[in-house]
C-alpha cells in the first residue's frame, strides 16, 4: 500500500476480536478511560503480564494511541511505534532503549537541533553516558569515531537542523551494526515521504508529531518507531517512565496525518520555488536547500531522496546582517508567521540564534556555521506567489 493510501486508512476502523459483530466507528474515537475491565481477573492478569493483547492502564496504552501507533509504524515500515508527549520525550526514550543492553556511549552528529544537543550534553552526559560529536556527513570521521569510542548508540538527524546536511544513513547503519551499536535517526525534517530510515538499516526512528505529521500547529507530541529487537525495550521503558501522549492529541495527530501526503507534496514544491527565487535576491548571500546541485551532500541526496521531494525547509543568510537586521526583516513579514516551530499549513519563519539554537554557546554556533544572519523558513501550503511576495516586501 502506498503512503498516500496509508495515511487515509491505516489505524481507523479497527475491529475488536472479542466482539467481531460490534458496530465499528468510521473515524477514530477518543478513548479517555484510564482503566479497563474484563470478564475475568485471569484475563486482566494475562493482559497486565503482556501474555495477551489488550488494554489495562492508560499509561501503558489506550485504543486511541494504539490506532495512531499502528499508523505511524506502518508509515515508517517499523515493527511497532509508541506515541509520546513530545518529540524530545521520543528522542530520550529511543536513546535509552538503544543503550539498554549496550555500552553507555553515544557517537552523535555535531549538527543537531539545539534541544537534542542539550539532551546529550546537559542530561545524559552528567549521568555518566559518554557523548562524542562527529561530522556525520564525513564517513571517515564516523568510522574512526565508532572505532575509537565503541558506542552503544549512534544518533543523527536525517536532514540536519538548520543547515540541511544529509548523512548517508545506509552507510552509517552498516558501520553501526558492524560495531554492535544501535542507530537512532530523528526523521522529523524528512518525514517518511522522503526517507524511511528503518529501510536503510536504522534501528529506531523518532518524530516530533508536532511538525509535519500533525501539521496544524495544535498538537505537542512525539513518536518512536522501532524494529523488532527494540520495540519491546521501548515499551518496557515507557511503562515506567510514562511519556504517554494524551488521547486528544493522538486523535488530532491522526486526523492531521490524513492530509499529510498532500500537504508535504505542496510544501516541498513551494520550498523549491522559494529557494530558487531567494538564490537571485541581492539581500541574500546564501541559500541552503537540498535541491541545489551544489549542495555539499548532493550525491547522498540524489541517492536517498525521491526526485522532486527535497523537503519543505529553506534556510538562508541575509547579506551582512546582524541580529537587529534580522529582527527588522522578520517584523516586516505579514503573511509568513514568525514562530518557534515548523511543518504547519502556514509558512513559518524562525531565527535559530534566539530559538532552536539559543542555548548553544556563540563559538559552538559559529563552528556549526550558524551565523547571526541565518534564518529558517518552512514553506506552508499557501499559494507560493503570495509567500514570495511577502518575503520580497520584507527584504526590500
CA atoms within 13 A on the CB side of 126: 5
- The residues, any chain, with a CB within 8 Å of residue 227's CB and separated by 6 or more, are 78, 79, 198, 202, 203, 204
Among residues 196, 211, 235, 376, the one annotated as catalytic is 211
Contact of 143 with 157, CB cutoff 8 Å = no
- The residues, any chain, with a CB within 8 Å of residue 213's CB and separated by 6 or more, are 72, 191, 207, 223, 253, 256, 257, 260, 343
What span, in angstroms and rounded, lies between the C-alpha atoms of 172 and 154? 9
What span, in angstroms and rounded, lies between the C-alpha atoms of 297 and 292? 10
Q: Sort 306 into a burial class: Cβ within 10 Å, 0-12 / 13-18 / 19+.
A: exposed
What span, in angstroms and rounded, lies between the C-alpha atoms of 254 and 249? 9
What span, in angstroms and rounded, lies between the C-alpha atoms of 300 and 256? 30
Give which of 178, 136, 174 is closest to 155, Cα–Cα: 136
3-class DSSP state for residue 200? helix
Query: Rounded to an integer, what is the distance from CA 198 to the centroid of its chain?
Result: 14
Contact of 105 with 130, CB cutoff 8 Å = yes
Any catalytic annotation for residue 59? yes
Among residues 165, 186, 297, 372, the one annotated as catalytic is 186
CA–CA distance from 235 to each of 50, 61, 232 (Å)? 11, 10, 5
Among residues 14, 43, 46, 59, the one annotated as catalytic is 59
Q: Which residue has the cell 529553506?
A: 314
Among residues 113, 289, 310, 351, the one annotated as catalytic is 113
- The residues, any chain, with a CB within 8 Å of residue 337's CB and separated by 6 or more, are 344, 346, 347, 348, 349
CA atoms within 13 A on the CB side of 70: 17
What span, in angstroms and rounded, lies between the C-alpha atoms of 16 and 13? 10
Any catalytic annotation for residue 60? no
Joined together, the cell numbers standing for residue 217 give 500547529
Please give the positions annotated as active site. 59, 113, 186, 211
Amino acid at each position: 500500500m502506498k503512503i498516500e493510501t496509508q495515511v487515509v486508512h491505516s489505524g481507523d476502523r479497527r475491529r475488536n476480536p472479542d466482539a467481531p459483530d460490534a458496530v465499528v466507528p468510521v473515524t477514530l474515537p477518543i478513548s479517555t478511560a484510564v482503566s479497563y475491565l474484563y470478564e475475568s481477573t485471569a484475563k486482566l492478569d494475562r493482559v497486565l503480564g503482556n501474555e495477551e493483547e489488550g488494554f489495562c492502564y492508560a499509561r501503558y496504552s489506550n485504543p486511541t494511541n494504539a490506532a495512531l501507533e499502528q499508523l505511524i509504524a506502518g508509515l515508517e515500515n517499523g515493527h511497532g511505534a509508541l506515541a509520546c508527549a513530545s518529540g524530545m520525550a521520543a528522542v530520550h526514550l529511543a536513546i535509552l532503549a538503544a543503550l539498554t543492553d549496550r555500552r553507555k556511549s553515544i557517537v552523535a552528529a555535531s549538527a543537531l537541533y539545539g534541544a537534542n544537543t542539550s539532551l546529550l550534553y546537559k542530561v545524559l552526559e552528567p549521568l555518566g553516558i559518554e557523548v562524542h560529536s562527529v561530522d556525520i556527513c564525513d564517513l571517515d570521521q564516523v568510522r574512526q569515531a565508532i572505532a575509537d569510542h565503541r558506542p552503544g548508540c549512534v544518533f543523527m538527524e536525517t536532514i540536519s537542523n538548520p543547515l540541511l546536511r544529509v548523512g548517508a544513513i545506509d552507510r552509517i547503519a552498516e558501520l553501526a551494526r558492524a560495531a554492535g551499536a544501535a542507530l537512532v535517526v530523528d526523521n522529523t525534517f524528512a518525514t517518511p515521504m522522503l526517507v524511511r530510515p528503518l529501510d536503510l538499516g536504522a534501528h529506531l526512528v523518532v518524530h516530533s508529531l508536532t511538525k509535519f505529521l500533525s501539521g496544524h500547529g495544535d498538537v505537542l507530541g512525539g513518536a518512536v518507531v522501532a524494529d523488532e529487537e527494540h520495540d519491546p525495550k521501548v515499551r518496557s521503558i515507557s511503562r515506567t517512565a510514562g511519556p504517554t501522549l494524551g488521547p486528544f492529541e493522538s486523535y488530532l495527530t491522526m486526523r492531521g496525518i490524513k492530509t499529510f501526503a498532500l500537504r508535504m507534496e505542496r510544501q516541498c514544491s513551494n520550498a523549491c520555488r522559494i529557494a530558487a527565487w531567494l538564490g537571485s535576491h541581492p539581500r541574500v548571500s546564501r541559500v541552503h536547500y537540498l535541491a541545489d546541485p551544489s549542495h555539499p551532500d548532493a550525491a547522498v541526496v540524489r541517492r536517498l531522496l525521491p526526485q522532486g521531494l527535497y523537503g519543505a525547509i529553506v534556510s538562508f543568510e541575509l547579506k551582512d546582517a546582524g541580529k537587529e537586521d534580522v529582527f527588522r526583516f522578520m517584523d516586516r513579514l505579514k503573511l509568513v508567521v514568525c514562530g518557534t516551530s515548523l511543518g504547519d499549513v502556514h509558512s513559518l519563519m524562525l531565527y535559530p540564534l534566539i530559538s532552536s539554537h539559543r542555548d548553544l554557546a556563540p563559538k559552538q554556533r559559529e563552528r556549526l556555521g550558524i551565523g547571526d544572519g541565518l534564518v529558517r523558513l518552512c514553506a506552508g501550503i499557501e499559494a507560493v506567489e503570495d509567500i514570495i511576495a511577502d518575503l520580497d516586501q520584507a527584504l526590500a
